[in-house]
Chain A
Amino acid sequence: MKIKFHNAVPAALIVAAAWFAATLVRAQQNTAGHASNFSSVEYFDAPHAQQMKSRMSGTEASPQPGGLLAIKQLKLEEFDVEGKLEAVAEAPDCVYDMQNGMANSPGHLKMRTGDGNLRIEGEGFLWRQTNQWLTISNHVQTVIQGALESKTGL
């Protein structure tokens, strides 16, 4: 699936969140046992098959009882077909429930666009993949840099 941020202005966060979840799925699919300083890369489909589409990295990933996968220092990056960074999501601690398709953490979640013009942070999050629902539990902070009016023709 190609994820585009270019013309998805109001939906960028949605896409980022979906990508976030999808990447977590890939993490569990690609991880067999404990992993340290891991990195998982996905590439675009042809004709951009040489271009990195997303990269997930972390300092540690370890399976937990109950089908859980604990990930430390999770960092998810999304790129466009030209290699430009589109979005980044970071969570120091994250647990992915492989059976129920949920990711959560009591810790910090930080998301930003590649150019830094949009930043979203919060403490504690829950992602329910089944119904595509993201909750940020505490201290949600959004910062939008730049002249908003000109972006939407207001």
Chain B
Amino acid sequence: MNKICFIALIALAGAWILRAQTNMAGTNAVSTNAVAEILALVTTNTPPPQPPAPKTNAPTKIDSDTADFDLNGRQAVYRGNVRVDSPQMKLTCAQLTVDLPPAGGRIQHVVAETNVVIDATDEKGETNHVTCDKAVYDYKVQESMTNEPITLTGNPQVVNAQGTNTADVIIWDRATGHGWEKNPHMVSSPNVNIGKTDTNSPAAGTNNPLMPKLF
């Protein structure tokens, strides 16, 4: 059915953010349109401890205290105790802003702000807990190249079975599956190969090319 409104896309944006968190650092050859495949790639060293998370027809719910829909400015803003709850993830933040595309278009900019918390469960039942102050999703097409960077700032931290990772900035590109960090300053996990260079090229401006593989 093709009549799901932009609210659905807000939820999807949350899902994008979630997926970014679960795959952001050093994931190569990641399928960009199947979260199951992505998560499978990043958890290949760990046996599945739990049943797979449901990915079927369970609804996605978005709750907030208030919501504003600016039809002229084409922007939707959810404010206050924003909660996105889908089968694969839960996202909370204080404000979720979505720039609305033209009819039939694609959302190109989503911002989750203030006390952003994302909890995702992959198909093997592994959890990823992400916190940051701000998560920004962008969709860009330049010279036939599609980029979908999700940028986490404000003390971003990713915690999963493989370890804990923090940096000044954590970026993951959904389109390429590449992730990188700017100035990582804490990594802890017995399973993490600290200092192992990521096979993906770091982005320009990245001041620390060493990318521990957490995912």
Which of B22-30, B102-110, B207-215 interfaces with chain A? B102-110
Extra 11 A-B pairs, beta carbons < 8 Å, given A113-B1, A118-B7: A5-B3, A10-B6, A10-B106, A10-B107, A11-B5, A133-B69, A133-B71, A134-B69, A134-B71, A140-B64, A149-B33
Which of the listed residues A11, A12, A134, A147 has the most CB atoms from chain B within 10 Å of its own CB? Answer: A11
B residues contacting A by CB (< 8 A) are 1-12, 15-16, 33, 35, 55-57, 59-72, 74, 76, 78, 86, 100-107
Taking a contact as CB atoms closer than 8 A, the residue among B9, B11, B12, B71 that contacts A132 in the complex is B71
- Nearest CB on A from B211, distance (A): 25
Question: Counting CB contacts under 8 A, is A32 at the interface?
Answer: no
User: From residue B26, how far is it (CB to closest CB) to chain A in Å?
Assistant: 22
**B174 → chain A, closest Cβ, in Å?**
8
CA distance A118 to B86 in the complex (A): 14
Number of A interface residues, CB 8 Å?
A: 46
Question: Could you say which residues of chain B place their CB within 8 Å of the CB of A113?
Answer: 1, 3-5
Residue of A nearest to B58 (CB): A145
Binding site secondary structure of chain A: mixed
Complex Cα distance, B11 from A133, in Å, reads 21
Q: Is the CB of A154 within 8 A of B15?
A: yes
Contacts of A17 in B (CB 8 A): 69, 71
**With A10-B6, A154-B33: A148-B68 Cβ-Cβ less than 8 Å:** no
Within 8 Å CB of B56, what residues of A?
147
Report whether B7 and A144 are in contact in the complex, using a CB–CB cutoff of 8 Å. Answer: yes
8 contacts between A and B (CB under 8 A): A10-B103, A14-B71, A134-B71, A136-B66, A138-B66, A139-B63, A142-B7, A143-B60
Is there contact, CB below 8 Å, between A118 and B3? yes
Q: A125 CB to closest chain B CB, in angstroms? A: 9
Chain A nearest CB, measured from B203 CB (Å): 23
- A16–B26 Cα distance when bound, in Å, is 43
A14, A140, A147: which contacts B67 (Cβ < 8 A)? A140
Q: Which residues of A contact B67 (CB under 8 A)?
A: 122, 135-136, 140
User: Chain B residues near A35 (CB, 8 Å)?
Assistant: none
A29 adjacent to chain B (CB < 8 Å): no
Nearest opposing residue in chain B for A141, CB measure: B63
Which residues of chain B have C-beta atoms less than 8 A from A114's C-beta? Answer: 3
Q: Which of chain B's residues has its CB closest to A129's CB?
A: B71
Q: Could you tell me if B69 and A8 are in contact, using CB atoms closer than 8 angstroms?
A: no
For the complex of A and B, 8 pairs with smallest distance between CB atoms: A132-B71, A12-B5, A13-B5, A8-B103, A142-B62, A10-B6, A140-B67, A134-B69
B59, B74, B100: the one contacting A144 at CB < 8 Å is B59
Given A17-B69, A138-B66, answer yes or no on A118-B57 (Cβ-Cβ < 8 Å): no
Please give me the residue from chain A that is nearest to B16 by CB atom: A154
